[in-house]
Amino acid sequence: MARLRAALLGVVATGAVATAVESAPPGGPERWQRTNYAGRSVSLLGGLAQAGGTSLALLGAGRTGAAAAVAAGAAGALGAVDDLTEREADRHVKGLRGHLGALREGQVTTGALKIAGIGGGALLASLVLPARGSGRVARLAHRGTSAALIAGTANLLNLFDLRPGRALKVTCVAAAATTLAGGPGAPVAATALGSAAAGLRDDLSERTMLGDTGANALGATLGAALAAHPSRVLRGGALAAVVALTLLSERVSFSRVIDQSPVLHALDQWGRR
């Protein structure tokens, strides 16, 4: 019952924030307009609605929800900074390796600032989550891996936001699985599921897009839900998968892999215009 309530709260909160920001877009609607992969004009207000609605809804999910709200709020805010203030000189810098490489050369990109900010928010969220382990070292290790899982998942989901609806579909699948896995993070995952479902229609129709704002916030929420699970095997497996996929993305195009797989391609195309 708590999971269903959390999912419904995610739907309602995200819908309410979407209505509010669309009726009075901060800085005007033009500030949020972007051109997508197909050359169509879309609005980043969809991402703002996801970040704001998810963060608000998470406040009703207890201590784990509060930790997730911290992570989602920080990730969404830093994503918005990147979405709205990215310089033309930074646009060619892509991926984790690209931003860190630019930093080594003395170029501080908005992406590098986002990485640092999301990492800080993830660390703060890990301090809010209950520590697991019988000793001080074990508890510190748990907090460190929790922060890595939250920040890594926030970054990974953003890598899927290259086609309409793709990142939201990934969110729905991952959130549904995490919800069914149970544990303290289940209501948090259910909230992410509800929020993602609420924005899916507008994203698929290419009226809105997530951008870094929405994708980072939803990813951080999923990461917090996974970090709160009592199973060390599940947490470790999730972190390993996140790291492996992130490293793989530096060498392999996710879009190319999806397009070459008939099943993945069909799922990716489902619902799109």
Lowest mean pLDDT among 131-135, 145-149, 158-162, 241-245: 131-135
Paired tokens of 26: 């901060």
Pairing of strands 33-35, 41-43: antiparallel
Say what the pTM is.
0.91
pLDDT at 82: 86
For residue 167, the model assigns a pLDDT of 97
pLDDT band at 11 (very low <50, low <70, confident <90, very high): very high
Q: Judge whether residue 103 has pLDDT over 50.
A: yes
The closest alpha carbon to 272, from 173, 158, 197, 163, belongs to 163
Residue 20 has pLDDT above 70, yes or no: yes
Tell me the two tokens of residue 27.
């800085």
For residues 19 and 101, the model is more confident at 19
Mean pLDDT value of segment 257-268 = 95
Checking 56-59 for CB contacts under 8 A at 24+ apart, the result is 56/13, 56/17, 57/6, 57/9, 57/10, 57/12, 57/13, 57/14, 57/191, 57/194, 57/195, 58/188, 58/191, 58/221
Identify the H or E element spanning 141: helix 136-159
pLDDT computed for residue 61 by the predictor: 84
Q: pLDDT tens-digit profile of 24-83?
A: 999 899 999 999 988 899 999 999 999 999 999 999 888 999 999 999 999 999 999 888
Q: Does residue 89 have a pLDDT over 50?
A: no
Model confidence at 95, pLDDT cuts 50, 70, 90, reads: low
- Distance between alpha carbon 211 and the CA centroid of its chain, in Å? 10
| 9 has a pLDDT exceeding 60 | yes
Q: Which residues lie below 8 Å from residue 22, measured CB to CB, with a gap of 6+?
A: 43, 45, 49
As a whole number of angstroms, the longest Cα–Cα distance in the chain is: 55
Task: Inform me whether the pLDDT recorded for 99 exceeds 60.
Answer: no
Question: Domain limits of the chain?
Answer: 1-269
Given a contact cutoff of 8 angstroms between Cβ atoms, the answer to whether 234 and 177 are in contact is: no
pLDDT at 113: 77
Interval 199-208: pLDDT, tens:
999 999 999 9
Which pair of structure tokens corresponds to residue 152? 């890594």
**252 Cβ contact list (under 8 Å, min separation 6):** none
- The values of phi and psi at residue 209, to 5°, are -145, 160
CA distance 212 to 235: 25
